[in-house]
Every structure is written in structure tokens, then in C-alpha cells.
Amino acid sequence: MTQKELRNQQLLQEANERTAQFFTRRHFLKESAMGFGALALGSLIGGCGFDTAGSVSTFDPAHPLAPKLPMFPGKAKSVIYLHMAGAPSQLELFDFKPDLMKLNGQDCPQSLLEGKRFAFIRGVPKMLGPQASFKQYGQSRAWISELLPHFSTIVDEVSFLKAVTTDQFNHAPAQLLMHSGSPRLGRPSLGSWVTYGLGSENQNLPGFVVLTSGGKFPDAGKSVWGSGFLPSVYQGVQCRSEGDPVLFIKDPQGMDRDLRKASIDAINAVNEQEYSEYHDPEILSRISQYEMAYRMQISVPGVMNINDEPDYIHEMYGTEPNKASLANNILLARKLVEKGVRFVQLFDWGWDSHGSDANLAIDIGFINKCRQVDKPMTALILDLKQRGLLEDTLVVWGGEFGRTPMQENREGKQNPFKGRDHHVDAFTIWMAGGGIKKGFCHGETDEIGYSAISGKVTPYDIQATILNQLGFDHEKFTYQFQGRPYRLTDVHGKLIDEIIA
């Protein structure tokens, strides 16, 4: 082989190796100290015609959750996402439509039904007026219904997106779309992307925590906090209010903390012996993972315990220790963020107000759900604010879609209770903190709240905005999979500039 050939081969090899290493774990072990060692390689990767220069990929399997810098300085450091699974009605909470009241009980005009698909409405349904009264609050004069008396006091802290639309009218795909940018299983969730990009501030706690309430998981199951094609370490860790707060975090019965400490010390001491023989750096990282596991065993139950919170906090949130509740989860979310957890995802089940039974009636069960969420979500904003955390904590509240201005008539017949069907064309989501405008409202729906008429945004736009607040350009934040760079927002998404402070 000539020198030239050799050199060529080396060059090619190097180029290919660098490319390959970009998305293989072993490279990052080497690069871990640099953190952004891979940044410059981004431009080599390009794929599917998208310019991926500047994409961030800093997966270090030995320290996968080590804190990392975003692409540019972000305004938010952490996110609390309150997802009301089942999709709450915007028409009874935020989107005040007096004209809809006038149409109450009338047949829905044919023009609204043409070309539309509904999950359950068949034939010609009746219009259903707002089932709550509204007033304006705060300096921003935001319309809020009587169902959220606490929340009405903090409207000047939040930005409303009143013209959110989606294209999925079933729960599971709509939830997946909202959280993973795709209605199908298999994509990483928002929280996974964020912890992949930013790591975690607290190595003794998971970086991405999921809390569920309402007695059931969201319809999309655990995939909605899955890591998709990202390394599994970035999937949401479900902290549970019953049983172990994190799976297997509790020592077996009969093994107290000191004994666990002794046993982990012994494991690590033997592993050090092993290291002195094998010199494999992986052994050292195993040792540090065991140490971290031990610390996590203390810190997770600690942070998950709300008993020690002062009375005024319990009063403020409406929490009752030792019970599974949305209020408890919201308080936990604050505690977790305070401790440096990057992304706290809440799901509260039971907002699917079809009117098929009393719990799902818009004038019965729905009111209960509002009561459950009103006080704690208000407390969350106030509490974050008083602790100086609201500035860099982004709070997002919403469902996976909205509800129809029509009363649901399942299979063409009147439902036993008042309810509304799934609706994709208009719903409300609000955001607060983390560099979002205060007391602002973006987007508008028509006079009956059926369609967005201005300031229309999609789940992708919301994702792009959340990433932006954390310091990521959603178009450049990618991960190489199946031969192409994937991003959370796929080929969609536009930053909602209007609500950024």
C-alpha cells in the first residue's frame, strides 16, 4: 500500500469514525470532560437535507445526567408541566363566549359539522352554553370563570394561549403529540429531550420526574414520558405517592440505612479491588453510580415527603399528607424543582367531560376537578414567586385538546349528563414564569369558541417555545436515529414570540 493510499484510508477512516462516534456512546466517555466536544461535529452529520450544524449531543453514559449548557442562555432552568389528561373544557374556564349561551339548546348549524370528524358526536347535536359564569380579573382584565376563584387572583402572572389547535381527536395520540411531537409511539418525550440536552442540577434525584393523579395513567400510558430512541436513562422516572416513590428505592425490609451503607461500601470496595486488577474505567463509573443510588435513596423519599412542610403551605396548596392527590403532586413539583430537578411532568386523570356519567358531567364532576386543581395550581405560582423560583421555572398548564361548544350526543342520542365531545380546533393553554410575559393573552377564537381565528398555535409551537425558554433552538436540537437527525418538533413548529417577555 502506498503512502498516499494509506493516508487516504486513514482520512476516510477518521472522517467516518468521527461521524460514527457522534452517535455512539463510547466516544462520549472520552469526551465527557469537554461536555461540548461533540458540538463541532454536528456539521458533519447533516442528514435528510436539514442543516444540523450546532446540534447538541452530549451523551456521556458515565454521567448521562451531568448538567450541561444549552445552545444559548435560556430564561428557564426547569419546567413544571401540569397536564390535565382527558382535556378540560376551555369554555367553562378561560374562553368566555356569551354568544354561545344564546344558542344554548339549539341544533348545531350544519355548517359547523361539514367536513368535521368527532370522536363521539353523531348526527346533529345541540349547542351547549357555558356552564359557568365569567368575570374579568387583574390588570390584564382576563376572563376567568367562577370555577377558578383562586386562580383568578393571579391572572397577571400568566400568558394565555387561547387558540391552540391540534390534529388528533383521541386522547392517546393527542397526548403523545403534545409531549413527543408525534401521535405515534416511539418518539422521546419533551422531558426526555430536555434532560438529554441539559442534564440535571441534582445528581441525587432523577432529572425528569413524572407524577400522576386521578387514579389512572394518561391514556397514552408510559410512552408519554418515554425516552423513545434517546438512551433510556432520559425517560421520565415515575415518582409514586403510594408504594416506593421510585421503583426499588426502598431497601428490603430488615436492611436499615446503616447496613445498606455498609453493603454499598463493601460492593464498592470489592469493585475497587476489581479496578486495580482490570483498570477498566467503567468500573469507576459503576462505583459512582452505586454511591449515587445510595444518596438517591435518601433524597428521593426526603423530597417526596410533604409532611414536614409548614402548615401555611398545606393551607395554601390544600394538601393532605399521605393521600394521593393532585394537590400533593403540585406541591411535590415545587419541592422537586427547588432541589434542581429539571423537568417535572404531572398528569391528572379525569377531565374527559363527555357527560356519560356524573363524574364526567360538565356541571358535576368537572366542577370537582376544578376544585381539586384551582387552589394548588394558584399556590404553585405564588409559592414559586415568593421563593424567587418563578423567574426560572416555566409552568405550563393544559390538556391534549379542547371540548366542543356542542353538547355530546353519543351515537346520535343525548348523553345522560351534560358534556362536551373532544375538540381539536380551539382550546386554551396557559404558561407562566420562565421568561413568559405576565398578564398576557394570545390568540382568539370565534364567537362560540369553535375555531381559532387569530394567534393560532399548535403543539409544535408550544414545544418550540418551551425549548426556546430553556435555551434551545428547536430546529437545531436533534438526535441521530434511523439514518436521520430527529427533532422534537419534527419538521414543524414556530416560536410563539408574542408571549415571550
Calculate the CA 354 to chain-centre distance.
Answer: 25
Sole binder of another protein in the list 66, 101, 290, 340 (CB under 8 A) = 290
Sole binder of another protein in the list 146, 256, 315, 357 (CB under 8 A) = 256
| Minimum distance from residue 218 beta carbon to another protein (Å) | 8
Nearer to another protein, 55 or 152 (CB): 55
| Minimum distance from residue 500 beta carbon to another protein (Å) | 28
- Of 133-141, 145-153, 278-286, 305-313, which part binds another protein (CB under 8 A)? 278-286
Secondary structure in 3-state letters for 344-387: EEEEEECCCCCCCCHHHCCCCHHHHHHHHHHHHHHHHHHHHHHC
Grid cell digits, residue 466: 418551551
Strand duo 402-407 + 158-164: pairing: unpaired
**Phi-psi region for residue 49, left (φ > 0), alpha (ψ -120 to 50) or beta?**
left
The terminus-to-terminus CA distance of the chain in angstroms comes to: 63
Interaction with another protein in 409-438: which residues (CB under 8 A)? 411-413
278 near another protein, rule: CB under 8 A: yes
| Minimum distance from residue 249 beta carbon to another protein (Å) | 6
115 near another protein, rule: CB under 8 A: no
CA distance 442 to 160: 6
357 near another protein, rule: CB under 8 A: no
| 8 Å CB contact between 128 and 121 | no
| 8 Å CB contact between 272 and 281 | no
Sole binder of another protein in the list 169, 225, 427, 450 (CB under 8 A) = 169
Sole binder of another protein in the list 4, 33, 114, 308 (CB under 8 A) = 4
Q: Burial level of 305, CB count in 10 A (0-12/13-18/19+)?
A: middle
| Minimum distance from residue 395 beta carbon to another protein (Å) | 25
Site string for another protein, 298-317 (x = CB under 8 A): --------------------
Nearer to another protein, 74 or 226 (CB): 226
281 near another protein, rule: CB under 8 A: yes
Sole binder of another protein in the list 69, 185, 364, 495 (CB under 8 A) = 185
Per DSSP, the residues of 456-485 read -B-HHHHHHHHHHHHT--TTT-EEEETTEE
Sole binder of another protein in the list 66, 99, 104, 250 (CB under 8 A) = 250
Grid cell digits, residue 334: 415545587
3-class DSSP state for residue 306?
coil
Nearer to another protein, 104 or 271 (CB): 271
Sole binder of another protein in the list 266, 358, 453, 501 (CB under 8 A) = 266
Q: What are phi and psi of 173, to 5 degrees?
A: -65, -35
232 near another protein, rule: CB under 8 A: yes
Position 61: which residue type? P
328 near another protein, rule: CB under 8 A: no
Calculate the CA 310 to chain-centre distance.
Answer: 28
Q: What is the DSSP letter of 50?
A: B
Sole binder of another protein in the list 484, 494, 495, 498 (CB under 8 A) = 484
277 near another protein, rule: CB under 8 A: yes
Grid cell digits, residue 383: 409559592
| Minimum distance from residue 298 beta carbon to another protein (Å) | 12
CA distance 247 to 253: 15
Q: Which of 65, 69, 72, 77 is nearest to 34 (CA)?
A: 69
| Minimum distance from residue 253 beta carbon to another protein (Å) | 4
CA distance 493 to 181: 9
User: 345: part of which helix (H) or strand (E)?
Assistant: strand 343-349
CA distances from 309 to 77, 238, 342, 384 (A): 24, 22, 22, 15
- Of 94-102, 105-113, 163-171, 399-407, which part binds another protein (CB under 8 A)? 163-171
- Of 75-83, 88-96, 228-236, 430-438, which part binds another protein (CB under 8 A)? 228-236
Nearer to another protein, 313 or 481 (CB): 481
Interaction with another protein in 40-99: which residues (CB under 8 A)? 44-51, 61-62, 64
252 near another protein, rule: CB under 8 A: yes
170 near another protein, rule: CB under 8 A: yes
Interaction with another protein in 118-137: which residues (CB under 8 A)? 119
CA distance 273 to 27: 26
